[in-house]
């Protein structure tokens, strides 16, 4: 167990393998060695840390290409349906079997929390939390990206394109549509 | 989801470096959608998104390298995505790159970011890679040819060919002849006014191999400033390009076919493909500029009994090309310990019982393996992600020949038969002018006329009459699936 102390001075006893998802903490532990000393996290509040380290329900491996997980087995059998247009270098790596409920709950935190989590993930160096699911439609994992309108709404992005510009870029990006 | 309107909670309120990190996790469709949300994100995706995507999804290709440098990251990703899509649809343009040679040759190919070189008999043919814009495929232009020895003697045939580093000029070749002699060839750049197809070269004899009678040079491979040669009887010589007299030689003592040198690895190695059934492919580490006498790893066959001798060369070659995928760096280079590595994947097209003469890997998504068979200019291609399927193609004009050499890039497969080189191009934007125009020929394939030079059946690309007709068939398992 590792003792973490957040910015609001709360203490957390956390499993070592969970905190080691954070590259920052992992390196710290390696540098310090076995110790009972608490690790201060001055940039992370307790509410955020709870989200980041939820122990038993957290995904052990977040696959950013999660939406293909359900089709992975069929593509091997059926070359007529091209295996995936998203070619990660790493298609063969071990895949988790499903997008957990955890993920869905995770993305439905309010936006303020979501940004704090992103910032904390960056500070703690947890790559898996800096992932595309922020843009993905939480209810329909297999449907690919949210439409731009939804992304705008979700993140308060102001559309400053002229309609002509928007149509132009849409046309330029046609090739990227999932087929 | 709570919608908060405080400006600090806008996504673009996050530090840009974090946004860029997030961009790097995104899929194509996400990048596209995000770039459509606002000017800020459009700019961010254009500046960092596509380039990040490209880094995570590399599609190595020599013939595209120079054009890519001129393309935007988005254009590059677009080219790759469209090429990958054509691969998955078995959709390509097939072109011969030359009129047939008068004799039957056993040619070989070598490639650099500037040129494709074909060595056939005692002649080298050079093609240069042009630059392209506006979504067109980078053109391939016949630069010229040059006979290295006027007398066509069997012992003076080119049997090995490799580019050697010359600071990015891509004009220096090491050419090996059957008798074990070498030449360093410097190709002079063409002047703009030159109209004939003579390739001007500067030749310099290099330190020859001392090969026993009846032995011959089989293979040549270079890496960084080192050169590795292999004779048919299994004499392997490792040397430095600048000081060719300092050599390290080992004798494998078996009929040997193929070699590969890798000096970039943290533990440099040489790999040899031989006819020895128990140890068809061996890895020898290189320490202090010397080849180790004993292999540090041996790649075995899946089921030695099953494939039989007819497959033997093929299996070896095949393993040789996929070798870089194996964790060679971890094999301890001690002489006593020789792990026997079993293949994790065996590919066949279940129709051809012939030996495989050539093999290369790359292709769509970087996940294809191509093999050239001993007869009917047949090439098979497999996607290692769905290896039971795959596609076989007879090279354009169907030369009754083995496919002696293959180079597979992300979008193009270069190959060569006894009569001519050819290309299968899966990339977008192929035009009539992308490849050299050829005199109409009927040699070896009566009945080739304008009417049956149709192609790339799909109208989706909007191209017609650019490719040559080729016979292609899906491997049995794919065909079943197509019907299902």
Residue A165 has pLDDT above 90, yes or no: yes
DSSP code string of B40-73:
HHHHHIIIIIHHHHHHHS----HHHHHHHHHS-H
Sketch the domain layout of chain B as residue ranges.
11-85
Whether A32 is covered by a domain: the verdict is yes
pTM of whole model > 0.80?
no
Residue B129 has pLDDT above 90, yes or no: yes
Whether A57 is covered by a domain: the verdict is no
Higher per-residue confidence, A37 vs A81? A37
Q: What is the H or E stretch that residue B35 is in? A: helix B28-35
Q: What is the pLDDT of residue B338?
A: 53
B461 vs A contacts (CB less than 8 Å): none
Q: What is the pLDDT of residue B218?
A: 92
Q: How far apart are CA B211 and CA B182, in angstroms?
A: 12
Query: Please, what is the end-to-end C-alpha distance for chain B in angstroms?
Result: 43
Whether A15 is covered by a domain: the verdict is yes
Q: What percent of chain B has pLDDT over 90?
A: 46
Residue B317 has pLDDT above 50, yes or no: no
Predicted confidence (pLDDT) per residue in B141-166, tens digit: 999 999 987 555 667 889 999 999 88
DSSP code string of A128-177:
GGSSGGGTB-TT-GGG-BPPHHHHHHHHT------HHHHHHHHHHTGGGS
Instruction: For chain B, give the mean pLDDT.
Output: 80
Give the B window 58-117 contacts with A, CB below 8 Å: 58, 78, 81-82, 84-85, 87-89
Whether A12 is covered by a domain: the verdict is yes
Residue A132, domain extent: 2-52+100-176
Residue B50 has pLDDT above 90, yes or no: yes
Q: What is the pLDDT of residue A113?
A: 75
Q: How far apart are CA A151 and CA B71, in angstroms?
A: 29
Higher per-residue confidence, B232 vs A107? B232
Query: Between A and B, how many residue pairs show a Cβ–Cβ distance under 8 A?
Result: 169
Q: How far apart are CA B310 and CA B355, in angstroms?
A: 5
Residue A148 has pLDDT above 50, yes or no: yes
> Distance from B422 to chain A by nearest Cα, in Å?
26
Looking at residue B289, what DSSP letter applies? Answer: T
Whether A7 is covered by a domain: the verdict is yes
Nearest CA-CA partner of B108 in B417, B436, B430: B417
Q: What is the pLDDT of residue B380?
A: 92
Q: What is the pLDDT of residue A81?
A: 30
Q: Are A147 and B367 in contact (CB < 8 Å)?
A: no
The residue of A80, A130, A163 whose CB has the most chain B CBs within 10 angstroms, and thus the best one to mutate to test that interface, is: A80
**Which among B13, B22, B365 has the least Cβ separation from residue A87?**
B365
Range name among B198-212, B228-242, B422-436 with the lowest pLDDT average:
B198-212
Range name among B16-25, B98-107, B225-234, B441-450 with the lowest pLDDT average:
B441-450
> Distance from A36 to chain B by nearest Cα, in Å?
32
ipTM computed for the complex: 0.73
Q: How far apart are CA B263 and CA B55, in angstroms?
A: 23
Query: How many domains, chain A?
Result: 1
**Which among A77, A155, A173 has the least Cβ separation from residue B35?**
A173
A83 vs B contacts (CB less than 8 Å): 88, 383, 385-386
Residue B45 has pLDDT above 80, yes or no: yes
Range name among B138-152, B157-171, B369-383 with the lowest pLDDT average:
B138-152
Q: What is the pLDDT of residue A50?
A: 82
**Which among B5, B15, B35 has the least Cβ separation from residue A169?**
B35
Q: What is the pLDDT of residue A163?
A: 94
H helix and E strand count, chain B: 9, 27
The CATH number of the domain holding residue A149 is 3.30.710.10
Q: How far apart are CA B421 and CA B417, in angstroms?
A: 6
Q: What is the pLDDT of residue B458?
A: 37
Nearest CA-CA partner of B324 in B299, B288, B290, B357: B299
Q: What is the pLDDT of residue B37?
A: 92
Q: Are A157 and B38 in contact (CB < 8 Å)?
A: yes
Closest residue in chain B to residue A74, using alpha carbons only: B386
Residues B319, B281 contacting (CB under 8 angstroms) = yes
Whether A141 is covered by a domain: the verdict is yes
Q: Are A79 and B33 in contact (CB < 8 Å)?
A: no
**Which among B15, B40, B478 has the least Cβ separation from residue A79?**
B478
Q: What is the strand order of the sheet B140-147 is part of?
A: B108-111, B115-120, B123-129, B140-147
Q: What is the pLDDT of residue A131?
A: 56
Whether A46 is covered by a domain: the verdict is yes
Residues B63, B413 contacting (CB under 8 angstroms) = no
- Residue B349, chain A, CB below 8 Å: the answer is no
pLDDT average, residue stretch A18-24? 82
């Amino acid at each position: 167990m590792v003792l973490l102390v957040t910015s609001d001075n709360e203490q957390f006893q956390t499993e070592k393998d969970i905190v080691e998802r954070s590259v920052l903490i992992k390196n710290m532990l390696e540098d310090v060695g076995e110790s009972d000393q608490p690790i201060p996290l001055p940039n992370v509040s307790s509410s955020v840390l709870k989200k980041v380290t939820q122990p038993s329900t957290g995904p052990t491996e977040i696959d950013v290409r999660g939406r293909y997980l359900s089709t992975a087995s069929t593509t091997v059998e059926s070359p007529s349906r091209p295996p995936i247009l998203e070619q990660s270098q790493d298609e063969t790596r071990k895949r988790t079997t499903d997008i957990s409920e955890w993920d869905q709950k995770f993305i439905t935190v309010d936006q303020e929390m979501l940004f704090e989590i992103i910032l904390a993930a960056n500070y703690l160096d947890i790559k898996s939390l800096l992932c595309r699911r922020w843009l993905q439609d939480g209810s329909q994992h297999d449907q690919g990206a949210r439409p731009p309108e939804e992304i705008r709404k979700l993140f308060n992005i102001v559309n400053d394109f002229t309609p002509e510009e928007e149509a132009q870029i849409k046309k330029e990006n046609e090739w990227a549509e999932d087929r | 989801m709570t919608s908060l309107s405080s400006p600090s909670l806008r996504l673009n309120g996050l530090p840009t470096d974090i946004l860029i990190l997030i961009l790097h996790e995104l899929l194509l469709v996400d990048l596209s959608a995000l770039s459509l949300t606002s000017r800020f994100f459009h700019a961010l995706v254009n500046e960092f998104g596509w380039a990040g995507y490209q880094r995570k999804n590399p599609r190595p290709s020599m013939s595209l390298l120079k054009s890519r440098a001129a393309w935007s990251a988005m254009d590059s990703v677009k080219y790759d995505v469209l090429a990958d899509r054509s691969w998955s649809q078995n959709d390509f343009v097939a072109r011969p790159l030359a009129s047939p040679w008068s004799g039957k040759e056993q040619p070989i190919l070598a490639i650099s970011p500037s040129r494709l070189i074909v060595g056939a008999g005692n002649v080298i043919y050079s093609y240069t890679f042009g630059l392209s814009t506006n979504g067109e495929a980078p053109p391939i232009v016949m630069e010229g040819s040059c006979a290295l020895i006027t007398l066509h003697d069997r012992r003076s045939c080119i049997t090995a060919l490799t580019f050697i580093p010359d600071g990015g000029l891509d004009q220096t070749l090491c050419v090996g002849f059957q008798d074990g002699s070498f030449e360093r060839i410097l190709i002079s750049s063409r002047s703009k006014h030159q109209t004939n197809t003579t390739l001007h070269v500067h030749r310099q004899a290099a330190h020859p191999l001392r090969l026993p009678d009846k032995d011959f040079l089989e293979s040549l491979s270079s890496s960084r400033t080192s050169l590795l040669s292999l004779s048919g009887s299994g004499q392997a010589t490792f040397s430095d390009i600048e000081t060719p007299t300092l050599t390290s030689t080992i004798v494998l003592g078996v009929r040997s076919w193929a070699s590969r040198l890798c000096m970039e690895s943290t533990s440099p190695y040489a790999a040899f493909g031989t006819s020895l059934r128990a140890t068809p492919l061996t890895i020898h580490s290189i320490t202090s500029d010397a080849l180790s006498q004993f292999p540090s790893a041996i790649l075995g066959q899946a089921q030695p009994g099953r494939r039989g001798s007819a497959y033997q060369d093929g299996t070896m070659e095949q393993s040789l090309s996929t070798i870089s995928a194996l964790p060679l760096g971890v094999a301890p280079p001690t002489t006593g310990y020789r792990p026997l590595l079993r293949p994790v994947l065996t590919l066949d097209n279940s129709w051809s019982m012939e030996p495989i003469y050539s093999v290369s890997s790359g292709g769509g998504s970087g996940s294809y393996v191509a093999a050239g068979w001993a007869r009917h200019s047949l090439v098979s291609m497999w996607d290692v992600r769905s290896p039971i399927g795959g596609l076989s193609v007879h090279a354009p004009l169907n030369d009754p020949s083995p496919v002696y050499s293959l180079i597979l890039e992300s979008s193009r497969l270069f190959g060569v038969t006894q009569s001519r080189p050819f290309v299968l191009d899966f990339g977008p934007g192929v035009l009539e002018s992308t490849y050299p125009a050829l005199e109409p020929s009927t040699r070896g394939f009566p009945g080739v006329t304008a009417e049956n030079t149709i192609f790339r059946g799909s109208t989706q690309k909007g191209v017609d009459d650019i490719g040559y007709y080729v016979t292609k068939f899906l491997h049995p398992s794919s065909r079943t699936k197509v019907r299902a």
